[in-house]
Amino acid sequence: MLETELRKVHFIGIGGIGMSALAHYFISKNINVSGYDKIKSEITQSLEIKGAKIFYEDNLNAIESINNIDLVIYTPAIGEDNNQLKYFSKHSIPLLKRSDVLGDISRLFKTIAVAGTHGKTTTSSIVAHILRTSNQDGVCFIGGISSNYNSNFLLGKGVLSVMEADEYDRSFLKLSPHSIVLTSMDADHLDIYNDKETLQSSFYNFTELLENKKKLIVEESLKNLFKNNLTYGFNSESNLQILNIKILDNCYQFDIKYRNKIYNNFSFKMPGKYNLLNAAGAVLSCLENEINMDDIRSALHSYKGVKRRFDIHVENSEIVYIDDYAHHPSEISALLNAVKEFYPNKITIGLFQPHLYSRTRDFLQDFSSSLSSLDELFLLPIYPAREKPIEGINSSLLLSKVPLLKKQIISSENDLFSQLDSKNSFVLLTIGAGDIDEWVPSIIDYINKR
């Protein structure tokens, strides 16, 4: 893929978080961008403002100058029955997956690839913020909307890049990483990998892409699974250690030990020890790419997070409302531990939308265990995403497995509000990776009117 030869690029599924970042990249290169998505969203509207021609019905007549398209990029989430996919396949127009294009771009920079079943988006967004505040960013592709920049894409004049390395569909094997941060390797995407061992072997294959094997940076619990790796975490044996942790004014205060030297007075406002681990991985990757520690300290202090990652929308003496993308049992457990740590005196009410029938089936007992840390649970029907229903797998089954006295399935915002009317002091969480975020504005409005 030679950017200099491209005049017009078309995206099928342009509204996805990864696809839209690529669209922003091509727009920044003054290449005409068009695209299709099922749903009009803030993401697609931001692209339209920048000049992208986007339509929302799978209609070939909606594509302007269809014969002038040089490249079509699509996401694996698009079904084979898509009219555009069939047309471009038939007419021999270059057709690439998002991962192929991202792989080509990764070769243009010293790319920090952030991999793992959890923590990729937060870690990569911290790296991106550090690179931007230190003027070292070349291009940053973030798997969420950075609250600092209200964007999932940053473009600077530096030589460093950060990209999320997505294990789904093994797409991360297309990247050319200069260094890798590996946050976790829990079982997930078993619809693709079948078992944890196959998933882990895919991660091993990914780490083999490094030319310099000493540029592998792993969370400390993974250290024995690899050779010649650097580690980060809370243990004194790690190459980067976070220590002397305190919570002051709803903010972590801590020190960092790196290469046997202690650096003091770091602050980070994202709750949860898992977010401290994400920060540690980001910091170590930036230090190993010669970013100054003072710049890193300043960036951590000003980091505001990512939308839908411990995203605090309301915080007062009575009610706290947090929206979070957590959709795996491990992520839910980490989220709830953080809530208990920062708001120990409030009851915790969770509204959870399970994501995928297969994930609900594969981790039924794990979901039951993680959700049992709530004081009260409201469940929505399973969000199917790319899947067809699996007989017997539904939210009623999950609800029956959760050992809580206060639990029920609801189907509307009014159902939720009628249950909340009688409650005074609580933390409310909306949890899930489907379309539960569409409830956020109504919930904020309800709380503000109480």
Whole-prediction pTM:
0.90
Residue 308, judged by CB atoms within 10 A of its CB (0-12, 13-18, 19+), counts as buried
Say how far apart CA 99 and CA 421 lie, in whole Å: 47
Say how far apart CA 421 and CA 255 lie, in whole Å: 43
Tokens of 196: 């944890």
| Local confidence pLDDT in tens for the 450 residues of the chain | 556 689 999 999 999 999 999 999 999 999 999 999 998 999 999 999 999 999 999 999 999 899 999 999 999 878 888 999 999 999 989 999 999 999 999 999 999 999 999 999 999 999 999 999 999 999 999 999 999 999 999 999 999 999 999 887 788 999 999 999 999 987 554 556 557 777 888 999 999 999 998 999 999 999 999 988 999 999 999 999 999 999 998 899 999 999 999 999 999 999 999 999 999 999 999 999 999 999 999 999 999 999 999 999 999 999 999 999 999 999 999 999 999 999 999 999 999 999 999 999 999 999 999 999 999 999 999 999 878 999 999 999 999 999 999 999 999 999 999 999 999 999 999 999 999 999 999 999 999 998
**What residues contact residue 262 under an 8 Å CB cut-off, 6+ apart?**
243, 255, 256
Amino acid identity of 128? A
- Report CA 118 to chain centroid distance, whole Å: 8
Q: Compute the residue count for the chain.
A: 450
Residues 80 and 148: beta-carbon distance below 8 Å: no
Pick from 129, 139, 151, 136: nearest CA to 109: 139
CA distances from 128 to 140, 192, 223, 274 (A): 6, 29, 25, 18
Lay out the sheet containing 426-431: strands in order across: 311-315, 319-324, 426-431, 347-352, 376-379, 407-409
